[in-house]
Amino acid sequence: MPWSNQSGGGGNNGPWGPRPGGPGGGQQPDLEEILRKSQDRLRQAMPGGGGKWVTALVALGAVIVAGIFAFTVRVNTDEVGIVLRFGEYVRQLQPGLHLRLPYPIEEVELPKFTRLNRIEIGHRGAPQGAGISVRDVPEESLMLTGDENIVDIDFVVVWKINNAPDYLFNIQNPQGTVKDVSESAMREIVGQSDIEPILTAARAETEGKVQKLIQRTLDGYQAGIEIVEVQLQKVDPPAQVIDAFRDVQAARADQERLQNEAQAYANRVVPEARGEAERILQSAQGYRDRVIAEAKGEAARFEKVLQEYQKAPDVTRKRIFIDTMQDVLSNTDKIIIDKDGGGGVVPYLPLSELQRKAPDETPVPSSSGSSIQSGGQQ
């Protein structure tokens, strides 16, 4: 049977508490007023006032009207009818006009199952157009986070009825039950979280977790209530420490910015250093390969010269001497002239300057080139 203070409309008192609207779930008609008006009209319509006939007709009409109201009930489109027979739930009525047994045999509860109910926790808002600011309720809004910080949270819970019998018979104060369960769920979720995510990126995640926890708790109570939405209105540190908290947040932001800059510098410098190290390694590898190849070439050339030297020592010796002198003298500015053939040379002729102008030209030896072989003079 429903609790005595269950919402569902005012009316006359029944054996189990206030009856929502009396028989039919609506407002009971004033039969005395109907009888009086009916008598007045009949007296005016009938000659001589009607006498007993007027009274009888009025009484009959009153009985008919009372019977209609006693045996019918109207369920509005936003309601569902819960029929109680001697206080026990027997059936459910959909929107429309229905027959039922008169009170006190049957009575009908009419909870509004499509209406969205709103509960404010942590604050109290004024009605629209009242021109009054929102009033904060610290005993509801101040909560302790998992990292031992205090946070001031205002939120709204939107709910509706999804099971009318459970809603009527299993909980005594729906509004208070939803409020208490919502506040408890929010404190539990906040107590498992750090303050920074709640203030920044985890607001939507917190709303979803709180909604699921409230719904799971109410389902355990079989309350017949569906949580439509949980809305975080305000999530701030307490007003007494909000300035210091903002300074801490600014310091953390600077720390993250410097860390990001340092990471960006490291991401730029480290690849450059690795590339330079790889370049040095590749250069050293190339130098090593070049030196080894040159050494092998020199060794092979020496072996070839040795083979030729073993075949003709004198010729090879002279050839080596001539090649060596050519390599040495080709890099100097000195001109060697045969003593026998140099009498016609102009003493001031700048032969060295002529040689600088044509460095790629090889000097043509004198006709008596034997002076080089025989140790000619400079």
**Could you tell me which residues come within 8 angstroms of residue 377 by beta carbon, excluding any fewer than 6 positions away?**
336, 337, 339, 371
Q: Is the pLDDT of residue 283 over 80?
A: yes
Percent with pLDDT over 70 in the chain: 67
106 contacts 79 by C-beta, under 8 angstroms: no
347 contacts 319 by C-beta, under 8 angstroms: no
167 contacts 218 by C-beta, under 8 angstroms: no
Query: What is the arithmetic mean of pLDDT over 293-303?
Result: 91
From residue 239, how far is each of 16, 145, 151, 183, 246 by CA, in Å?
Answer: 48, 16, 10, 21, 11
For Cα atoms 246, 250, 255, give the angle at the middle one, nearest 5 degrees.
145
Q: Is the pLDDT of residue 302 over 70?
A: yes
> Average pLDDT of the chain?
75
Query: What is the arithmetic mean of pLDDT over 89-103?
Result: 75
Q: What is the value of pTM for the model shown?
A: 0.51
Query: What is the arithmetic mean of pLDDT over 240-244?
Result: 77
Rounded CA separation 148/140 (Å):
18
pLDDT tens digits, 202-211: 888 999 999 9
Q: Kindly state the helix (H) or strand (E) to which residue 120 belongs, with its residue range.
A: strand 117-121
Q: Is the pLDDT of residue 316 over 50?
A: yes
Please state the three-class secondary structure of 275-341 as a single string. Answer: HHHHHHHHHHHHHHHHHHHHHHHHHHHHHHHHHHHHHCHHHHHHHHHHHHHHHHHCCCCCCCCCCCC
Residue type, 155: F
